[in-house]
Amino acid sequence: MSAKDSVVLSDMKPGSRGKVVRISAKGPLRRRILDMGLVSGVEINVKGVAPLGDPMEILVRGYSLSLRKQEAAEIHVEVM
Amino acid sequence: MEAARVLQTGETVIAMAGNPNSGKSSIFNNLTGARQHVGNYAGVTVEKKEGKLIHQGKAYKVVDLPGTYSLGAYSEDERVARDFILKEKPDVIINVVDASNIERNLYLTVQLLEMGANVVVALNMMDEAKEKAIHIDVAKISKLLGVPVVPTVATKKQGMKELVVRAIQAANEPKREALKINYGSDLEKELKKLEDIISSHSQLSQEYPSRYLAIKLLEEDQEVYQQVKAIPGTAELLEQSEESAAFLLDETGEDAESLIADRRYGFISGVSKQAVRKRISAEQRLSFSDKIDKVVTHRVLGIPIFLAAMWLVFQFTFALGDPMIGWVEGFFEILGGVVGGWLAAAGASDLITSFIVDGIIGGVGSVMVFIPNIVLLFFAIALLENSGYMARAAYVMDRFMNTLGLHGKSFIPLLVGFGCNVPGIMAARTLENKKDRIITILITPLMSCAARLPVYVLFVSAFFSQYEGLIIFSLYLLGIVMAVIMGVIFKRLLFPGEVSPFVLELPPYRIPTLKATMIHMWERAGIFVKKAGTIIFSVVVLIWALSVLPWGVEPGSKESALGQIGSFFAPLFAPAGFGSWEASTALIFGILAKEVVVGTLGVIYGVGEEGVVTAIHQLWTPLSAYAFMVMTLLYTPCAAVIGTIKRETGSWKWTVFTMVYTLVLGWVMAVLVYQVGRLFGLS
Ligand SMILES: Nc1nc2c(ncn2[C@@H]2O[C@H](COP(=O)(O)OP(=O)(O)OP(=O)(O)O)[C@@H](O)[C@H]2O)c(=O)[nH]1
């Protein structure tokens, strides 16, 4: 786990890309994140942020997924 | 197993499973011809829907399972789907897979295969995949998964024949071996230990595929854990599973849940690498959807567009619907006149004539008057859902809804609640988290449903005809404001400190098909008509009966049973300005169905549709009329809503709670309006 150059997804800017390294969420949120295909190694692409600043939208496995920043903060990403 | 199946139905059962938005409803409609809701908002198919497929003179039962991404116990939908597959053991499962989004869709497929289900994959949306320049080697996928795969385009009915043939063929074949994904040596060793224990337990090995159960236990699926715990002689297995999970965490630094998800997606990536070719990567291609999203979820434009869309829905429903209401009213007026004339000519007594003309025709008429608004509203909602905008609305609104203690998705039930609270509350099923669901269900009755509109229309035409729009809009707004306040209160008081995941798919925009929109519209409208047809009609007859009992009293007078009930409660409403027995009586019957308030007033004032307005103009004041409308908006929802709440929450506690809090809220607000109004010299 390359903790030093990994950031949390919620801090990533629209247009940036990265690779998921770790999910720190627990319980149902963790289950949901994994089910939606956000497992370690998968590439993601930040598409944008909702008008009120939250949630954010990402592209993963070719589809669009939105999550709250609070949830995205549990996803650790290695920026590419 | 075989015996259980025969006992169940005696016929072949085809279940349909798939991700939300994969086109499952469309295929289900194609196969069964059933009128069924088709939507585009993730997770609309929440109820178990059944239909009949006729093939070569034989009937097959088709069960549409809820659309889910997975088969864990994450949501009620997932539990429903999983339990159905394990317990009802359908003969074959048609797994609808969105070809344009194949990786995530196959995640569910893999789980179905791990359960040892007899699966036929419908590779749907092949047209979209083609458009996205995704090339799929169907034969290869079929070989890698070990199941038949049929390419389809549900909207154009392509591939349906082959799908049916393949499904029926598979249903008649012996069950295939469950798919075995290699979970890596560490995990496999632990799985083996668990599988061995399971195989030696006769009940367990009969009820569950052993490898599937072992995986679920390692994943620490709480629901499966509890089910196993309830079976005697399983202590050893549960102990071993806990030990194995702890060992894996120690050994790999990862919990089994992630390891398993990783491996499943790893397997899928393998399949995808061999069988799917994307000529352009998703990142490089600015799709049709992305272009729309750039505008619709724009930082500045997003909210105005959302508000404009809602305004359009509202205008479409009412501006277009109101003239049609005139036609319906006209029809029932003429009908009442004609039938009244016949009855008089036939020498019927006044009582019978009044029962038929005022009770039955008047009652049915005051319900049918709503059909134009409802049909138009649900047409608009169906367009929003099928186009994909609903999910964006949730995305745009989530921040706001979240501060109210709600989920972006709560927006849908609340919006649908404007048409009718019943489907609105039913739509709350799309919320996976119990807290979100309960709060949404509790406040949906505050949304001013279409059935409350006739009450407003009645009082508005008696007092506020120049300000019609403004007065009615203020009531809708009051309902929303109350919902916001109650939402925040409930979140703080009933579910302190609980959060729930949002994580929502934004499906690609699709041009809604007319057929799907119409099916959706008629289904929703049908719910209202059915409710209206049965409840309203019996209520009108009941009112009529109560108004003439005990025999001999002047019908509908204060001495009648109806009048006595009303008189008893009337003083309670004096501080709100409508302490008359007529008003209380109307409110009491309004609990059976809100629109009945109008019918009741019509019957007890002893005047027709036309006369009610005049009677009210004479007997009420503008202020008491407004307070009464506030009461109608907020107080205890109608019987159908109460029944729905009971069904959806599964608890009398929440049902009674809703009935009581709305009643108190309605009374408090009506009194507040009246008293404050009087302070300002209105009356
Ligand atoms: N282009 C294309 N669109 C399709 C196809 N199948 C379905 N659709 C459209 O996709 C949208 C979603 O279809 P549904 O049948 O409602 O999907 P579902 O999986 O039942 O979705 P939920 O009701 O949300 O569970 C609708 O607008 C359909 O018209 C297809 O093969 N090609």
**Residue ranges of chain B that CATH labels 1.10.287.1770:** 185-278
CB contact under 8 A, A31 and B297: no
List own/partner pairs for B260-264 with CB under 8 A and 24 or more apart: B260/B183, B260/B187, B260/B215, B260/B218, B260/B219, B261/A34, B261/A35, B261/A39, B262/A39, B262/A40, B262/A41, B263/B181, B263/B182, B263/B183, B263/B184, B263/B187, B264/B107, B264/B110, B264/B111, B264/B181
| Closest atom of ligand 1 relative to the B38 alpha carbon | 16
Least reliable range by pLDDT among A74-78, B301-305, B557-561, B619-623: B557-561
Q: What is the pTM of this model?
A: 0.81
CB contact under 8 A, B506 and A65: yes
- Shortest distance between the Cα of A62 and any Cα of chain B, in A, equals 6
For ligand 1, is residue B26 a contact (CB within 6 Å)?
yes
Does residue A55 have a cis peptide bond before it, meaning omega lies within 30 degrees of 0?
Answer: yes
CB contact under 8 A, A55 and B502: yes
Ligand 1: centre distance to CA B100 (Å): 12
Q: Tokens 């709440």: give the residue.
A: B645
Q: What angle do CA B148, B150, B155 make, to 5 degrees?
A: 155
Chain B hits for A54, CB-CB cut-off 8 Å, are 398-399, 402
CB contact under 8 A, A63 and B505: yes
For ligand 1, is residue B388 a contact (CB within 6 Å)?
no
Ligand 1: centre distance to CA B11 (Å): 28
**Residue ranges of chain B that CATH labels 3.40.50.300:** 12-171
Q: What is the pLDDT of residues A3-49, one digit of tens each?
A: 557 899 999 999 999 999 999 998 888 999 999 999 999 999 999 99
pLDDT at B70 over 90: yes
State mean pLDDT over B481-497. 89
Q: Residue B153 carries which DSSP code?
A: B
- The nearest alpha carbon in chain B to A28 belongs to B74
Q: What is the pLDDT of residues B141-186, one digit of tens each?
A: 999 999 999 999 999 999 999 999 999 999 988 777 788 899 998 9
Chain B hits for A2, CB-CB cut-off 8 Å, are none
The C-alpha atoms of residue B374 and residue B449 are separated, in whole angstroms, by 10
Ligand 1: centre distance to CA B125 (Å): 8
Share of residues in chain B with pLDDT > 70 (%): 88
For ligand 1, is residue B582 a contact (CB within 6 Å)?
no
CB contact under 8 A, A40 and B400: no
pLDDT at B367 over 70: no
Residues in chain B, total: 683
Ligand 1: centre distance to CA B517 (Å): 11
CB atoms within 10 A of CB B651: 12
Chain B hits for A63, CB-CB cut-off 8 Å, are 101, 104, 505, 507
pLDDT confidence of residue B5: 40
φ, ψ at B116 (rounded to 5°): 75, 20
Q: What is the pLDDT of residues B563-621, one digit of tens each?
A: 888 889 899 999 999 998 889 988 887 876 788 788 778 777 766 656 788 888 888 89
Top CATH class of B185-278 equals mainly alpha
Three-class DSSP category at B246: helix
Determine how β-strand B13-18 pairs with β-strand B92-98.
parallel
Residue to mutate among B71, B399, B436, with most A CBs inside 10 A, is B399
Determine how β-strand B119-124 pairs with β-strand B92-98.
parallel
Residue in B37, B40, B75, B429 to alter for ligand 1 test, most ligand atoms within 8 A of Cβ: B40
pLDDT tier at B4 (50, 70, 90 boundaries)? very low
Q: What is the pLDDT of residues B93-145, one digit of tens each?
A: 999 999 999 999 999 999 999 998 999 999 999 999 998 889 999 999 999 99
Domains of chain A and any CATH numbers: 3-79 (2.30.30.90)
Q: Which fold has domain B12-171?
A: Rossmann fold (3.40.50)
Least reliable range by pLDDT among B273-282, B327-336, B428-437: B428-437
| One-letter identity of residue B552 | G
Q: What is the pLDDT of residues B181-225, one digit of tens each?
A: 999 989 999 999 999 999 999 898 888 889 999 999 999 888 899
CB contact under 8 A, B506 and A57: yes
**Are the C-beta atoms of B600 and B592 separated by less than 8 Å?**
no
pLDDT confidence of residue B194: 95
- Shortest distance between the Cα of B301 and any Cα of chain A, in A, equals 8
Least reliable range by pLDDT among B78-82, B264-268, B531-535: B531-535
CB contact under 8 A, A35 and B398: no
Three-class DSSP category at B117: coil
Chain B hits for A46, CB-CB cut-off 8 Å, are none
CB contact under 8 A, A63 and B504: no
Which amino acid residue places its CA nearest to atom 27 of ligand 1? B386
Q: What is the pLDDT of residues B437-467, one digit of tens each?
A: 899 999 999 999 888 988 998 898 888 878 8
pLDDT confidence of residue B613: 81
For ligand 1, is residue B387 a contact (CB within 6 Å)?
no
| One-letter identity of residue B110 | V
| One-letter identity of residue B303 | I
State mean pLDDT over B626-647. 87
Q: What is the pLDDT of residues B233-280, one digit of tens each?
A: 899 999 999 999 999 999 888 889 999 999 999 999 999 999 998 876
